[in-house]
Amino acid sequence: MMPRNLQLILAYDGSGFHGWQRQPGVRSVQGEVEATLRPILRHPLTAHGASRTDAGVHARGQCAHVPTDCTIPIENLRRAVAHHLPPDLALVHLRDVAVDFHASRSALCKLYRYRLYAAPERPVEHHAAGFTYHVWYVLDEERLREAARRLVGRHDFQGFATAGSPKQTTVRTIQSVEVSRAGREIRIDFVGDGFLYNQVRNMVGTLIEIARGRWPIERIDEVIAARDRRLAGPTAPAHGLCLEWIRYPRLAPAAGPARVPAGGETS
């Protein structure tokens, strides 16, 4: 029996990982987290992640939960885990949560940010090469915003999903899409209840084609209506995408040997 449940908030540079999910023969975030925790908690375990970020995708607010019977106080655990994680993976927060908390199933919504470096010079000049997609051509930001607004709502997003997604349904709700500029960067923030395999990157690729003036703004509606991936744009590169946060309802108090308040949302 595992009477205790640990919630971990993690940040990582995705360039050195083959995504979140543990896979044989490749380095993954889940694999590194589990390898770090096993000698500390001293039992077999699984780190259940909230989002299966793809290879090369970054995170600042990935969430995972780990059931355990370890009785080490939470502050001691926090120091040990943070110290032993590899340099490209950081523990942002660790706390006890209720045993029925599930990193994926308990989530209300999550925010993915895609960063476009829209300038003639290379992003390496500003130390942004590994975290932004360099777009050489001029983008019409108003067209980008208008097209992005058409993604908001509850739709069948099969046309924006890469083949091979194991999900039972391709219907998702996008609560907001915000386009903003920070210097040379154009940032596109997607908040939704969940996303299909490569959905965000495929939406970004489509938005870029519209912002370049190659496609009409109504192309978004056509892709959604036809549910045909061939009508959408190319898949934007993984390194421009980051999982910023995952939001949960107010959590019930944790039970177990190191009980601490666990109220509030994760963001």
Question: DSSP states of 233-263 as a string?
Answer: -PPPPGGGEEEEEEE-PPPPPP-STT-----
CA 72 → CA 9, 164, 188, distances in Å? Answer: 19, 41, 41
Phi-psi region of 42 (alpha: psi -120 to 50; beta: other; left: phi over 0): left
Structure tokens at 187: 């940032």
**Residue 141: burial class (beta carbons within 10 Å; 0-12, 13-18, 19+):** middle
Structure tokens at 145: 């915003």
Q: How many CA atoms lie within 13 A of 147 on its CB side?
A: 30
Structure tokens at 16: 């050195």
Q: Tell me how far apart the alpha carbons of residues 196 and 180 are, in angstroms, rounded to a whole number.
A: 24
Choice among 13, 54, 88, 100 that is catalytic: 54
The conformation of residue 162, written as its DSSP 8-state character, comes to P
Catalytic residue status for 54: yes
Indicate which residues carry an active-site annotation: 54
